[in-house]
Amino acid sequence: MKALFDTNILIDFTIGLEPALKEFERYDEIAVSRIVWIEFLSGAKTPGYEIPRPTFDARP
For residue range 26-59, list pLDDT tens digits in order: 999 999 999 998 888 887 555 666 656 666 655 5
Give the Cα separation of 24 and 30 in Å (integer). 8
Amino acid identity for residue 50 in this structure: E
pTM, full prediction: 0.66
Q: Residue 51: its pLDDT value, please?
A: 59
What's the gap between Cα 8 and its chain centre?
7
Indicate the domain borders of the chain.
2-58
Phi-psi region of 9 (alpha: psi -120 to 50; beta: other; left: phi over 0): alpha
Element (H, E) at 30: strand 29-32
